Structure 1
């Protein structure tokens, strides 16, 4: 389907006049008439009734009208998206909620400050889901504490970050209270079991670091949170007898990714995991 034919049809249906439609489209009246005949031939139906200066849509034309409007609208959106793709660079980055909330947001800010034309999609999901999306080329870059063991993937260590066992200030720090389990990677439960003396079932399991922080006082519980939050949130207190847990942070992408050049450029912008 030639979109110019639909465009001409819509203009004639709007003006109800071949001459005025020709002026609006910067065409001759004969060119407008020829386009309408082409469209009618393709559809096998007359679209307009012509009686002197009285031009009206036929029942077939009335049926076509909403579809023509939708098709032209979709075509305009498609053209805009193509132009945008040429003007900007789009990259999808995935990580768990706890990593986004704790470390990755400042990194995104740094990326945008250095590359104004950058277009990103930030995905929040469980690691298992993100690995699957990466493998199926639905995701360009994964930030995780554990690089998947797949031959087709490349990975780069971005740094290490520190987790501390926190409680709310009002809580008795001589004994660990109820525990909130926060997702910090598939192998983290092994580390937290060695650090966290209370073996009772967690009162809450979540992937959100901010949700955990907000519920510490309510539950009277404790949880492993980013070490730098001791300065950011004065209402939190670190258990002094529990040593910090050090976790790595990796960037992972497909070796033959179409975006690997951009990915390597972005990874040169350091991610601050020690603040």
Structure 2
């Protein structure tokens, strides 16, 4: 059964006019008539009674109508499902916190796109716990985070180390006493952060956006930990003296039985951030 024949039958039954059906289907009127005759020939019945300006469904046509509608709906659903399945095979969804996207991950994604133009990428931003859940539900293919996973079903691979440095927008003699903006770099960073200050410190702001923290430095006269490489990119950033870095590890996490396992392993082997280029 040619679905185009059913599509034509449905349009004629709706318009009750071969000319208007032809206009709607971008066909000639003779093509519409030919399709209806072919469908009637295959079924061995007349589907329409044809009188001038009075086209009606026959009893057989009325009987065919609901079946034709259901068949076309099923066909559209099948096409949609197959198209989405095929697209998913060529789509890689990558998730991370905003500050990780801002700290080199966007540059890496751009390099992937330039090399793998047959792939489609889905870049997502969400809290780590939500993205771990999305990994298990196969809504996410790859998570880039600062903490390795301890779950057996997940693969964790360290991909790089990013040195972080306490910076200000204007250096003062009492830098360690100034307001502090805390970035949510993860559990390991939080421990090193406490050791760095050697005392309890209450941040004026806690955020997961490195760009937001950088922008607020001047107006708050504050300090925050940003990647060392940003001092080349943003000359207004000045390190707090004496220099002391906190090394932040980045991990790639994905399902062991992921259909993209080999692809992910290949992509992260070429992971590159500005820190790696120094």
Quote the Cα distance in structure 2 between the aligned partners of 1:217 and 1:3: 66
Could you tell me how far 1:205 is from its partner in structure 2?
Answer: 1.0
Query: 1:36-77: per-residue Cα shift (whole Å, max 9, x none)?
Result: 999x9xxxxxxx8854442379xx9xxx9xx99x95996598
Distance 2:254 2:274 in 1: 20
* Map of 2:87 onto structure 1: 85
- CA RMSD across the alignment: 3.7
Structure 2, gaps ≥5 residues long? none
**Cα distance change, pair 200–147 in 1 and its aligned pair in 2 (3 A):** closer
Equivalent-residue separation in structure 1 for 2:159 and 2:104 (angstroms): 11
Cα 1:108–1:32 shift into 2, 3 Å: same
Given that 2:16 and 2:55 are in contact with CA atoms closer than 8 Å, whether structure 1 keeps it comes out as no
Q: Which residue of 2 aligns with 1:43?
A: none
CA shift in 2, pair 1:51/1:261, >3 Å: same
Where does residue 101 of structure 1 map in the other structure?
Answer: 102
Distance 1:199 1:5, change over 3 A: farther
Q: Secondary structure at the match of 2:175?
A: coil
Cα deviation for residue 5 of structure 1 reads: 5.9
Bigger helix fraction: 2
Instruction: Output one character per residue of 1:81-138: Cα deviation in whole Å (capped at 9) or x when no partner.
Output: 359628x721111111111001101111111121111111111111111111112221
The aligned length equals 259
Cα distance in structure 1, aligned partners of 2:33 and 2:228: 67
Query: Structure 1: any 5+ residue segments left out of the alignment?
Result: 41-47
Judge conservation of contact 1:131–1:148 (CA < 8 Å) in 2: no
Check 1:98–1:77 CA distance in 2 against 1; reply closer, same or farther (3 A cut).
farther
TM-score by length of 1: 0.78
State how far apart, in whole Å, the 2-side matches of 1:159 and 1:111 are: 17
1:255 aligned residue: 256
Q: Name the counterpart of 1:45.
A: none
